[in-house]
Chain A
């Protein structure tokens, strides 16, 4: 720690702090433009000039100068103000004076500073530029005439996002910020540059002309898309979400968001939202009053329960409180058939981790990732499913020289990061590679074997997974594999990342167990700073597992329920916040289930493909319309807050479930989310220590920063051999979408409007296919047509198609296998 004096105030700060940080500590505000909390110091704007007595009273930038012992700093004096005002005049030489027509007006740092310094005239004159506005993309508008060259966009895109869209070009007075070859911006549209731009040079296009900042009500909530649990601050005007506000003060995400979080809110305001309950009468779904719909649903469900039973299938975007009510409803109905999200994909956590570590959650927290030495990512899709965790990985690499190892069947954003080492395997062989790495650790004596159960059996089961064998099978270099394993074992802090979700159902349990085995051998679980991260695809995937929205006792899982319904062995299905027909593997099976089942109730935001086949449809509320808690993929329980009212008569899932339970004779009622949360604590001990009202802006993490495993059991798992064919199709998530909800959001849709199949250049050349051509993809006896997208990401023989677009019918082909053997023709 270092002691210094700032404006007569004594401060003690850490040795690495800058003068700016120290001043902030004692509440002294130094004006800045180029400084941003999460970026490295840069010193571009020269606004933060201060005087330091020990430096001969010379003016030095506060944001780039580290503190030293006994420093005496003056932050304001007549001279300093004069210099700052001059800096302001320099900036305004070329700045347009279009505040009234600029959408940043009201929250512009330059405007604030000009006001503070009273800059009303300029002693300097200079030439003006006439740079064209870059508005070729639908989400971000760049007007470089307003730029002050603080470099925040350049730095955030490089340091945090790892994309590197921007750079300074030209020299001196002509310097400007441009994209490659000064073409229009075409990137992953996370909008980090939008949020960091201090002036109106980079603006969100969907928010243009909508409102001034002072008119907007800000509501801090949690993003409803993926399991990362980013804080989103809803900008609400007249009961409508107009934008997502920048907020780096609270939450686990440090103000970082991806395209879904920042631009994907529009589905909440969508015109096609359901606003009234629907009941099927004479073959048609007609609008009815709530009471009638509830009555029909209640009668249908209780009749079915008296028959062959009711299956309840939930999505993972309900709050914890709603899951609790749902479990209650299942009890009231008397059914054990309760499951969520496809039923296979989460087994890695609920079974794989449970058998190996005795816990059903990730063992570390996301902020710890940044200080890891070695990070092993399984599948390059991790960036696509959890982009903001990807940004933490990027920071770990750039700031702390972490080594990233990616076991992947295709290249992607992760494999492009600096020094990333890619073990590029044939599709479907990730498990073999993990096993081989475990074997390397055991054979070379690097493994931490103290207290591990089943070690001998595990060793025996691994005998075939020698690096050489696996190398031959998968095409990964054996030495690279060995070296990666050694690096993982040698690291003080390390992390293993694996995302799960509907498109990753194949061998999910085995893959998670293999990852857990490797983690155990590398000593990761329970070690401070290290972690095994199994991250759910949806906002509350972890909450669903914590609360046990799983088949209990003799209950059927999701897939079994659908099979049973298809065979006529289940009389009713109650589907909540999920569109199985569009997103579950094996569409024929799901469609058959919906057709054959005697009675079905669907509760959703939109009239989805599944809802169209239902007997009763309830209009539900989105994440922005309800209160409650989400548990993110690192066990962080965070408050979801209501920003707007639901459209029409739509109700929250919790309210619908309660009303339905009441109709079925359950008299239990709660006085709000806090009461339910307290009740959850009785069922789920980990939640008992928290009080709903005391969940702060950073949320609370159950089980502590590092979750200690309750057992250390090695489970032998073996890889399935994927079917062999000329072309293999893998499915997964695309960065711009999450689940099937985002296909109703105009932002993501503007960037990725339709389904596609991606293939490598080599295959494209062999097939004679160009970007945008229609391709026929056939497999599992089904043929579908998809637009081709050609790039460098995929190795020869591999095709990739995202699963979000129900109308493309990808899940007719995909039946839950790791790899679908397909034939492709033009």
Chain B
């Protein structure tokens, strides 16, 4: 019985190898050939814009708070029209572990993961991305969402003029 087991143990692996020999290979010739990752692949992080073109990031620090490796930092500021934005925003991709917690924490859908995995670099300091490197001209995965349409503050529209709101009242008008 031992002999039969040995013969089987020798032939079976070669049979499997033989089977794969005539299939299309799994590996690809990177970098000559590139694979398209799935849309939810977690790689390079971007900052997206509202449908109306405004920056989505309001510099609330939640991404940096959620980040397990502390690779996100920023400085908040405010526009004349009341829009809060990041005066500067920095992600250090040499620290980033692409866990996606920042994107999950983001209340305005500003920070999003993209499938662009090719950010290797010889100079480690080139992996520190500033806001101008991160900000893209597009909405990313959600093309409709606009935080200021829902925040209840009068930035995108006047207060109370957003879709899911009633208009403001003049308290004096309710006087008898």
Contacts and interface: CB of A to CB of B under 8 A. Distances in A.
Interface of A: 95-101, 105-106, 125-130, 145, 170, 174, 176, 208-212, 214-215
B9 interface: no
B160 A145 contact: no
12 contacts: A97-B150, A97-B151, A100-B62, A101-B84, A127-B160, A128-B159, A128-B166, A128-B167, A129-B169, A209-B59, A209-B77, A212-B65
B61 A215 contact: yes
Given A100-B108, A101-B151, A127 B58 contact: no
3 nearest A-B pairs in the assembled complex, by CB-CB distance: A174-B171, A209-B76, A100-B60
B153 to A, nearest CB: 5
A125 B152 CA distance: 13
Contacts of B159: 128-130, 145
A628 B108 CA distance: 46
Given A98-B153, A126-B166, A127-B160, 12 more contacts: A95-B152, A96-B152, A99-B107, A100-B58, A101-B60, A101-B84, A101-B151, A127-B166, A127-B167, A130-B159, A209-B84, A212-B65
Interface of B: 58-62, 64-65, 75-78, 84, 107-108, 147, 150-154, 158-160, 165-169, 171, 174
A174 B174 CA distance: 9
Contact of A130 (B61, B65, B154): B154
A101 B153 contact: yes
A210 B167 CA distance: 33
Nearest to A128: B160
For B62, B65, B107, B153, the residue with the greatest tally of chain A CB atoms inside 10 Å of its CB is B153
A127 B168 contact: yes
Contacts, number: 77
B150 A130 contact: no
A592 B86 CA distance: 54
A129 B60 contact: no
Contacts of B58: 100-101
Given A128-B152, A209-B78, A215-B61, A100 B147 contact: yes
Nearest to A210: B76
Contact of A100 (B107, B166, B167): B107
Contacts of A215: 61, 64-65
Contacts of A130: 154, 158-160, 168
Contacts of B64: 215
B60 A127 contact: no
A96 B151 contact: yes
B153 A96 contact: yes
B169 to A, nearest CB: 4
Nearest to B60: A100
Given A101-B84, A212-B61, A214-B65, A129 B150 contact: no
Nearest to B151: A98
A210 B75 CA distance: 7
B139 to A, nearest CB: 17
Contact of A209 (B75, B151, B153, B171): B75
A145 B152 CA distance: 9
A138 B64 CA distance: 29
